[in-house]
Amino acid sequence: MADVKIEMKTAAYVCSGCGLGDKLDVGQLARIAQKEGKMALVRQHDFLCNSEGVQMIRDDIENEAVTHICIAACSRRAKTEAFNFPSVAMTRANLREGVIWVVAEGAAHDEVRQEMADDYVRMGCAELKKSRMPEGNPNHTQLKNLLVVGGGISGLTAAFEAAETGYEVILVEKQAQLGGWAGKLWKRAPYKTPYAEPQETGVAALAARVSAHPLITVHLNSTIAETAGAPGRFAVKLAQESGSITEVAVGAIVQATGFTTYDIAKLPELGGGLAHVVDQAGLEALAMAANGGVMKRADGREVKSVVFLQCAGQRDDSGQHLPYCSGHCCATSIKQAMYFKDANPDVNAVVVYDDLRVPGMGEDFYRSAQHKGVIFAKGKASSVTTESNGLKVNYKDLILDSGATIQADLVVLATGQVPSSGVDVILWDKLTKEADGGSIEAKQQKSELKSISILNLTYRQGPDVPKLKYGFADSHFICFPYETQRTGIYTAGPVRRPMDIMQATEDATGAALKAIQAAENASLGRAAHPRAGDLSYPIVRLEGCTQCKRCTVECPFGAIDEDERRFPVFNEQRCRRCGTCMGACPVRVISFENYSVDTVGNQIKAIEIPDEFSEKPRVLILACENDAYPALDMAGLSRIVYSAFVRIIPVRCLGSVNTIWITDALNSGYDGVMMMGCKKGDEYQCHFVKGSELAGYRMSKIGDTLTGMGLEPERVSSFEVAITDNAKVAGFINDYVAQLVEMGPSPMKGFG
Run of H or E residues at 600: helix 597-606
- With H, G, I as helix, E, B as strand and everything else as coil, classify residue 166: coil
Please say whether the beta carbons of 50 and 18 come within 8 A: no
Calculate the CA 137 to chain-centre distance.
23
Q: What's the confidence (pLDDT) of residue 750?
A: 65
Strand partners, 226: 237
Please say whether the beta carbons of 624 and 654 come within 8 A: yes
Distance CA 289, CA 303 (A): 14
Pairing of strands 539-540, 560-562: unpaired
Distance CA 666, CA 746 (A): 8
The three-point CA angle 527-133-675 to 5° equals 65
Strand partners, 717: 674
CA dihedral 132, 133, 139, 142 (to 10 degrees): 170
Considering only CA atoms, which of 62, 50, 118 is closest in space to residue 88?
A: 62
Residue 80 makes CB contacts below 8 A (sequence gap 6+) with none
Residue 752 makes CB contacts below 8 A (sequence gap 6+) with 609, 667, 668, 669
Distance CA 231, CA 488 (A): 5
Distance CA 114, CA 396 (A): 70
Considering only CA atoms, which of 497, 298, 505, 307 is closest in space to residue 406?
A: 307
The HSE-up count of residue 147 (CA atoms within 13 Å, CB side) is 32
Strand order in the sheet with 10-15: 41-45, 10-15, 68-73, 89-94
Pairing of strands 169-172, 259-261: unpaired
Run of H or E residues at 218: strand 216-219
Distance CA 309, CA 311 (A): 7
Considering only CA atoms, which of 632, 620, 737, 621 is closest in space to residue 667?
A: 620
Q: What is the DSSP string of 403-466?
A: EEEEEESEEEE---EEE-----HHHHHHHHHHHHTT-HHHHHHHHHHHTT-SS-B--TT-SS--
Q: What's the confidence (pLDDT) of residue 687?
A: 92
Please give the backbone phi and psi of residue 137, each rounded to the nearest 5 degrees, phi first: -65, 120
Helices (H), 41-82: 51-63
Q: End-to-end alpha-carbon separation of the chain, Å?
A: 29
Q: What's the confidence (pLDDT) of residue 628?
A: 96
The model carries a pTM of 0.92
Strand partners, 155: none
Strand order in the sheet with 216-219: 216-219, 169-172, 146-149, 252-255, 489-491
Residue 113 makes CB contacts below 8 A (sequence gap 6+) with 23, 24, 99, 100, 103, 644
Phi-psi category of residue 354: left, alpha or beta, with phi > 0 → left and psi -120 to 50 → alpha: alpha
Considering only CA atoms, which of 147, 38, 67, 226 is closest in space to residue 518?
A: 147
Return the number of other C-beta atoms located less than 10 Å from residue 724's C-beta: 12
Q: What's the confidence (pLDDT) of residue 1?
A: 38
Q: What's the confidence (pLDDT) of residue 108?
A: 86
Question: What is the set of domains in the chain, with CATH numbers?
Answer: 1-133 (3.40.50), 146-258+465-523 (3.50.50.60), 262-418 (3.50.50.60), 539-582 (3.30.70.20), 609-752 (3.40.50)
Type of residue found at 582: M
Please give the backbone phi and psi of residue 373, each rounded to the nearest 5 degrees, phi first: 100, 5
Please say whether the beta carbons of 392 and 374 come within 8 A: no
Distance CA 241, CA 92 (A): 58
Please say whether the beta carbons of 670 and 558 come within 8 A: no
Residue 428 makes CB contacts below 8 A (sequence gap 6+) with 446, 449, 462, 463
Please say whether the beta carbons of 626 and 687 come within 8 A: yes
10-residue mean pLDDT series, the chain (752 residues)? 63 97 97 97 97 97 97 96 95 98 92 97 97 85 94 98 98 97 96 93 97 98 96 96 95 97 96 96 97 94 97 94 95 97 97 92 93 97 93 96 96 97 90 88 87 93 92 88 94 96 96 96 90 90 93 93 90 93 95 96 95 90 96 97 97 95 93 94 89 89 81 92 94 96 86 55
